[in-house]
Structure formats: structure tokens, C-alpha cells
Amino acid sequence: MNQSGQPYKDITGTITYLDHYNTKGFEPITLDSNVDFTIIINKERYNMNIPLNCTNCQLHKTRKQVVVGRGSIPADILFIGEAPGISEDTIGLAFIGEGGKLLDYMIQEAVKNTHPVSYYITNTVLCRPPENREPEPTEVLKCRENILEIIQEVGATVFCLIGKVAERYYKDIIPYYHTIVHPAAILRMGDAGSDLISRNIKTLTEMIREVR
């Protein structure tokens, strides 16, 4: 059971994001079958009250689709990242590119040290910025109503802001939160990023211990 008293929607062991994930040219995530890792991979998106034809900002002109998020609703933990990338814009789920794979790995390692949790992942904007540029302040502001809707629907008690962009725009919105280095930034560092992976896992472990 999660904190709302509702049963988790569990997939334990070897999982992939979508049944047709391999046909789209992406490698699936494989989780250690010996780890009791509680997670939901959306096969149908939770759209909540967020318009999938949103035109609030200029990002709608270049996106393929609105990327609401990925994960369990309700959830113990809510992660907020920066913005969807090309993989997310293509598939329609948050954090399914290389950075998402690393994030799931780090959460899995933290779960080994603690206990299973449910989580949901979204971003400061729900549409991909052109060329994966950083979202502009006006774009983040115009998407804030959507993110607040997600926060309410997910009902998490623990929050994690992924990277500097998420912290910049939500540190005054969410009163208490954790931060981790963005997985995409770590990947760009190559072998030099290994220490940051360990640091993120430590932060995630401490964060998961707060979930009761």
C-alpha cells in the first residue's frame, strides 16, 4: 500500500517502458529481478486535466506532443526535471532517454538500501524546447499551472528537483525538497561523473527513507 491507502500498481523484475519500445529504436531498461523494486511504467498516459493540445507558449509550434510524465499516481515521491528531450517527445513519456535510464538505475540502487517506493516524474515544461535548449522563463511560467495540477494529482509527500533549472523555478514553490545532479549532465561528463552518481544515490537513499 502507498501513503494514500491505495495499492501500488507493481511491476517487479524485468520490465520495459512500452511493449513496442524496442521497435522504436531504444534499448529497454532491465531491472535486477532479485530486487523488489516497485514501479509503474505507463502504458496509458495519465492526462489528468492537462490539455494535450496546449498552446500556452511557443513550444507548441515545434513539439510533437505534450509529455505529461511517467510513473505512479498517486505516488510517494515526485521528481521534477527540466524538459522533455527528443526521445520523450517521440514516445510521449518523461525521462525515457539515456538520462532516464540513469535516473532509474540510481533509484534502483537507492531502493536496494531502503524499501520499495512509488514515484512520478515530470518536468518544468511539458513540451520539448527546440534543439533541447533550456526552457525560457516565460515558458516555465506558462506551464506552471500544468505542473501544479500534476503536484496535486500525484499527492507526493517527498519532492526531488532534478538539476539546476528545476531548482531555480520551483525552490520557492515547494517548501521542502531534495536535489540531485541532472542525469544528462552526468552523462556528458563521461567517467568523471561516477562520483556524482554515487552522490545522487546517497541523496536518493536518504530521500526514500523519509517515505513512510
Looking at the domain assignment, is residue 174 inside a domain? yes
- Give the pLDDT score at 152: 94
How many Å apart are CA 201 and CA 48, to the nearest integer?
A: 30
Task: Say what the pLDDT of residue 41 is.
Answer: 40
12 within some domain: no
Question: What does the pLDDT read at residue 38?
Answer: 33
- Grid cell 495499492 — which residue? 7
The predicted-structure confidence for 36-67, as pLDDT tens digits, reads as follows 333 334 334 455 788 889 999 999 999 999 99
pLDDT at position 46, please? 53
Cα gap 69→67, rounded to integer Å: 6
For residue 179, give its domain range. 21-208
**How many domains does the structure of the chain reveal?**
1
Q: At what angle do helices 137-154 and 163-170 cross, to 10 degrees?
A: 80
Cα dihedral 210, 44, 161, 124 in deg (nearest 10): -150
Q: Domain for residue 193, yes or no?
A: yes
Q: In the prediction, which pLDDT does 175 show?
A: 87
For residue 202, the model assigns a pLDDT of 97
DSSP state of 31: -
- CA dist., res. 172 & res. 145, Å (int): 15
The verdict on residue 85 lying in a domain is yes
CATH number at residue 83: 3.40.470.10
97 domain residue, yes or no: yes
In a domain, 7, yes or no: no
Count how many Cα atoms sit within 13 Å of the Cα of residue 67 in the half-sphere of its side chain.
31
Answer whether residue 26 is part of any domain.
Answer: yes
Q: At what angle do helices 194-208 and 98-112 cross, to 10 degrees?
A: 50
The reply to whether 3 falls in a domain is no
The radius of gyration of the chain's CA atoms, rounded to the nearest angstrom, is 16
Could you tell me the mean pLDDT of each successive run of 10 residues in the chain, 212 residues long? 32 30 34 36 54 94 94 93 95 92 94 92 97 96 96 95 97 95 94 93 96 86
Cis peptide before 28 (omega within 30 of 0): no
Residue 33 CA: distances (Å) to CA of 23, 28, 37: 23, 15, 8
